[in-house]
A and B are shown apart, each in its own frame.
Chain A
Amino acid sequence: MNNRPPKYFTRLLAWFCHDDFYEELQGDLEEKFYSNIQQYGQRKARTQYRLEVLKLLRPSVAKKFRVQTQNNNIAMFKNYTLVAFRNLSRNRLFSAINIFGLAMSMAVGLLAIAFVNEIYSFDQFHENKGRIYRINNVRTFLDSAPQAYASTSLLTADRIRAEVPGVERVSGMFKGFSGDLATGENNYSFQGYYTDEEFLRIFSFPVLQGDPKSALKEPYSIVLTQTLAEKIYGSTDVLGQTLERNGKEYTITAVLKELPKNTHFHFEALASLSSLRNNEQTTYLFNWSTMWSSYAYVLMQENANMSAFEQSLNQIASQENAKMEQQSIALTYERLNDIFPGDGKYNQVWTVVPKSNVNSMIILALIVIVSACFNYANLSIARSLKRAKEIGVRKVVGAKKSQVFTQFITESVLVSLLALVLAFFLFRLIRPEFLSLNYYISRTTTLELTTTTYICFVLFAIFIGFLAGTTPALIMTRLKPVTIIKGVSNMKIGGGINIRKVLIGIQFILSIGFAVLVSLAYKQYQYALNFDLGYNTEAILNVELQGNDYEIVKAAFSQIPEIESISGSAFLLSTGSTNSDYAKLPEASDSVVVYSMRVTESYTSTLGHQLVAGREITSQLKTKQMIVNEQFVEKFGFKNPEEIIGKTFYYYNDHRMVVGVIKDFHYGTIYNDIQPFAFIQPEENQLYLTNLKLKSADLPATLEKIDDAWSEIDTHHELQASFYSEDIERTYQTLSSSMKTYGLLAIIAIGISLLGLLGMAVYTAESKIKELTIRKVLGAGFYHLVALLSRSYIWILVIASAIGIPIAVYIFKTTIANNIQYTISIGFWELAGGALMVLTVAILTIGSQATKAALTNPAENLRNE
């Protein structure tokens, strides 16, 4: 331990102590310190010293911290602005790089702000939002892991209402109120909820007509939203009118104002829950285990005791679970504020953006913004040489440190405000792209701008100005006039060139990483789309039956000559939907899980499945038939496909005879491998689609004919048709959305880092101009000079790719390709493609500057000296 008084405390004293007292006081303390060492030893003396210093922190000791009294503030800011603009226009290239770089990242920042603002505005308009809770189920089935559901049984709401104290209001809600509303002349499809009269008292949905307190009390009451009322009647003055749904008459008792978009509810109409009570067909809805699309909300009393509430919930749950086998359900509750964005519960009322999405959005935006701020700082520091004289003069004339600092902050805030204007246009440009990025986002957000968002934008720009400007401003502030006047050339500015290189390197790791990720995600997406499914989806148009009878639709479409063949199916294979049940030979006891889909005759030929043995399903035969795949044959231990023909299996509650065997095909997605599969025949009302194989040169005309044929069968519903390839594309939306996300980020990251690199390259070339000229005069060749300028940057790029590529591969494997069965093989080009692109552009950037510097006439530069 050294023998001196604690350094930092001495400094602290020196900083705050008035000059008049410092010598005396510091001397006294030090003398005392040394005598204390003699008397008590080092440790105690040091502690004593520190305490003494701290006790000296009193007003009578402190120096007068001068508060600047400037009455020419405005004039100074005017001057700063003027000088800033002069500077911007003098260095057009650098200003452009700075402004554009900041603008790109700020556009991402604006997206994040608008997004986060919107996400966190959800359900904030309810008056009682702080006291509203939703009851959730956590269901454990047999010994599987418990799963959290947003839904609960309607019984939960009823029991809470009857038994639990501390609850002001309870509302049960059931999602199944949808379909068609009939006025007598027309049908209107809609979707809505059954709920009770408490619903409109817990939540603050503004009411246009009617009394919200009683509107949902009587059975068969209906509340419409403004839009639906206007759609049906052309006005909102519709109280007392009746609408028919499934043979029941509903009386309109209230009309709600247009629903705000930022709520986790999504409905066009509400019907009274009492309509479902005292009805034999719907009593099952009030069972404890019917929890799939019903919800319970409570409004707690002020200062309610939530732990007592929790206990009551546990009690209800354990009483009900006692009556059940196989599964148990626990009740939990969550605040209204925690519903959206949510934590990934199943069975949400409507789409809920997961909190993790919001967080990763914020993190990505921060990365991009910090990266751009660094660029600004880096370029400004590099340019500060040119500003040194200005600062020297300012300081000599009497500028204080704080004034120089203010000047440079003003400048960077100005730049960032200019960038904001540009960023706003970029924001408008990428907004639709962003909205279509991801399923959750496109279903819930609009990114419409509110006053708050605008204010946030401006504050954000000012903040960015500070963030980017602080480092350069501090460096400028530290410049000493004497050094500047002695000569700019031998000044060291900004110190750590190495830190700058590291930071550029990090930017390139990000760029290369994102670029590689995009190319991998793109390859995987293409792979999934062009995956050989084992059957033919080309020119297949799938038309939703929408409740119409398959035979009628088939008869209508058969009139169109361009339709080669028609079949019906229960859903779409290879898009992620599957059904399965156990199948067994009637006499055997072993059963095998077999996936299946219900189809009509001619399905297998329409979709081009290859029969290995036997024939297709036919409607001529009374016997129930099935077609199985090769896996099925193998799993049941048959040697060859012919043997299984004619065998009968017990499957889906019936005996079914195998009439054909088809080659294995991918009925699932690239996320699944192939298991036993069977096509079986549909019962009544089990078909949802008809598959049309088209052979036509003039597709639009054919589609028109199909549309015409459809409108003759069904006057209520629009034709809902899509090509099989589109449906498959939709299946791999997660892949395409991660591809798009990484793509967007890659473009921005690459853009920003290239701008940074360009700036640094220009700066290096400029600052080395004298060296280059002399070398050239002495006979250095062109390539030598280019190499001299680019060498260090090339190294940065090489190291950045060595780090960036493995990280990208790791992220691809752990996130995108995590649970995919059929993935692309990652070869040289998959990796090198993205990286090489970034490298090429980067080398071109450096090279262009190096070339420019190497080609200038030496006389030009020497003459200017």
Chain B
Amino acid sequence: MKGTYLGEFQEVVLLTILVLEDNAYGVSIQEEIEKRTGRSVSRGALHTALTRLDEKGFISSEYGGATAERGGRRKRFYQVTNLGKSALEEAKALREDLWSSVPKVALQKVQA
């Protein structure tokens, strides 16, 4: 099911938006991801992910008030939609299902 497939980065973005609660906009999402994962994220890459999520209906957005530090430009705040939340749960359930099916033995690290 191509339309609702959730890519790894997209999943991270979705979760970050949930973490940030009411303060999820471009810069904060970017910084939060960088802080938590330690990888640098360009605004361009983030934009692409947000656009894809928006197209799938996983997030919605609205403009906030303008602030001076942004040259008078408004922030766009993102929220995760119900559809997005169930997509996240689905992804999580899929993994848990997989985790529980993995035999313990297989997880033991091989001694070299």
Contact = CB atoms under 8 A, between A and B. Distances in A.
Interface of A: 21, 23-32, 34-35, 51-52, 55-58, 60-61
B92 interface: no
20 contacts: A24-B76, A25-B26, A25-B47, A26-B71, A26-B73, A27-B71, A28-B26, A28-B30, A28-B43, A28-B75, A30-B69, A31-B67, A32-B27, A55-B42, A55-B44, A55-B45, A56-B42, A56-B47, A57-B44, A61-B47
A51 B70 CA distance: 18
A58 B44 contact: yes
Nearest to B70: A27
A31 B47 contact: no
B43 A52 contact: yes
Given A27-B71, A30-B71, A32-B27, A61 B76 contact: no
Given A26-B71, A27-B73, A32 B44 contact: no
B36 to A, nearest CB: 17
A56 B76 CA distance: 17
Given A27-B73, A30-B71, A60 B30 contact: no
Nearest to B76: A24
Contacts of B47: 21, 25, 56, 58, 60-61
* Interface-centre pick from A23, A32, A34, A57 (highest chain B CB count, 10 A): A23
A443 to B, nearest CB: 66
A628 B71 CA distance: 98
Contact of A52 (B44, B69, B71, B75): B44
B48 interface: yes
Given A55-B42, A58-B44, A61-B47, 17 more contacts: A24-B74, A25-B43, A27-B26, A28-B43, A30-B70, A30-B71, A31-B69, A31-B70, A32-B43, A34-B69, A35-B27, A52-B43, A55-B43, A55-B44, A55-B45, A56-B42, A60-B48
**Interface class of chain A by DSSP:** helix
A24 B43 CA distance: 11
Interface in B41-61: 42-45, 47-48, 51
Interface of B: 25-27, 30, 42-45, 47-48, 51, 67, 69-71, 73-76
Contact of A27 (B30, B45, B48, B74): B74
Contacts of B75: 24, 27-28
Contacts of B42: 51-52, 55-56
Nearest to A51: B42
B51 A31 contact: no
A29 B69 contact: no
B45 A24 contact: no
Contacts of A21: 47
Given A24-B73, A29-B43, A51-B42, A60 B51 contact: yes
Contacts of A24: 26, 73-76
A7 to B, nearest CB: 12
B89 to A, nearest CB: 27
Contacts of A56: 42-44, 47
A93 B14 CA distance: 72
Contacts of B43: 25, 28-29, 32, 52, 55-56
Contacts of B70: 27-28, 30-31
Contact of B73 (A30, A51, A58, A61): A30
A58 B49 CA distance: 12
A34 B25 CA distance: 16
A28 B73 CA distance: 9
Contacts of A29: 43
Nearest to A29: B43
Contacts of A28: 25-27, 30, 43, 70, 75
Contact of A23 (B30, B48, B73): B73
B25 to A, nearest CB: 7
Contacts of B76: 23-24
* Interface-centre pick from B25, B43, B48, B67 (highest chain A CB count, 10 A): B43
Nearest to A57: B44
Contacts of B44: 52, 55-58, 61
B41 to A, nearest CB: 10
* Interface-centre pick from A24, A25, A58, A60 (highest chain B CB count, 10 A): A24
Contacts of A52: 42-44
A34 B48 CA distance: 23
* Interface-centre pick from B25, B48, B73, B74 (highest chain A CB count, 10 A): B73
